[in-house]
Structure 1
Amino acid sequence: MIYKENFNYSFDEKACEKCNAKCCTGESGYIFVSKDEMKAISSSLSLNLKDFKKLYTIKLGIKYSLKEVPYENGFACIFLDTDSKKCKIYDLRPKQCKTFPFWEYFKTHKKELEKECIGVCF
């Protein structure tokens, strides 16, 4: 069980095995990735940063987001292996992914979080 200060819920990471990657699929959204994260991921894929950005990201103002691909009735992160329901870059996943479900947004949107994550315990 994972607990974070200033959050009134906890997270049972064992639930991930049963959830089928709901946090990586669904409605379209943004998966923000920093320059350092892009460098690490691109290096692991043996790509230069320019090619990585072209193949795997979209630019939004000054930020970059990982691309999404059509999946079932919505979208999936481009790095989700849709067969195994596992992240292909798990050890290098962006901070946004690493900190889920402990986002400030969910402090005031608990019903939405309940629908999205079976591992959350209130």
Structure 2
Amino acid sequence: MNNFNFTFNATACNTCGGKCCTGESGYIFCSITEMEQISAFLKLPFNEFTQKYVKKVGYKFSLIEKPYNNEYACIFFDKETKKCSIYDVRPKQCRTFPFWDGFRDTTSEDYELLLKMCPGIELDKKDM
């Protein structure tokens, strides 16, 4: 991705165990369009989907979380396969990870923290 001092090796997802889907509690924001796509993918009426899987956060919407290994996981994290059960229609927030603005200027000090969150990150040391 442009303007990031790291790259992403997607093959790491095969053995990562879903680190980007689990951890501390947070928000998994999604748009109404994304919620419509997920509800269609799950073959659930939109109202049923939102009542079961979505919470309102201010003026935004977030997928809910579930307890997982003394922390939390996205409701669509499959604990058996350790993968996303809605991968093909996952929200933009998930599709763009780890290329979020907050990680744009990763320093070598931040690198270890980023690796804990995502073993697919490969720091481009020449840009540091």
Smaller-chain TM-score range? over 0.9
- Tell me which of 19, 24, 46 is aligned to 1:22: 19
How far apart are residue 47 of structure 1 and its match?
A: 1.6
**Residue equivalent to 2:114:** 113
Q: Which has the higher relative contact order, 1 or 2, with Cα contacts under 8 A spaced 6 or more apart?
A: 2
- 1-structure distance, mates of 2:105, 2:53: 31
Instruction: Structure 1 unaligned segments of length 5 or more: list them.
Output: none
- Tell me which of 29, 32, 50 is aligned to 1:32: 29
- 2-structure distance, mates of 1:113, 1:102: 11
How far apart are residue 50 of structure 1 and its match?
A: 1.3
How far apart are residue 108 of structure 1 and its match?
A: 4.2
Identity %: 52
Instruction: Structure 2 unaligned segments of length 5 or more: list them.
Output: 124-128
1:63 has 2:56 as partner = no
TM-score (norm 2): 0.88
- 1-structure distance, mates of 2:85, 2:15: 18
**Residue equivalent to 1:52:** 49
TM-score (norm 1): 0.93
- 1-structure distance, mates of 2:65, 2:26: 8
Partner secondary structure for residue 23 of structure 1? helix
Tell me the number of residue pairs that the alignment of Structure 1 and Structure 2 aligns. Answer: 119
Structure having the higher Rg? 2
Code of the residue aligned with 1:21 in structure 2: it is: G
Code of the residue aligned with 1:48 in structure 2: it is: P
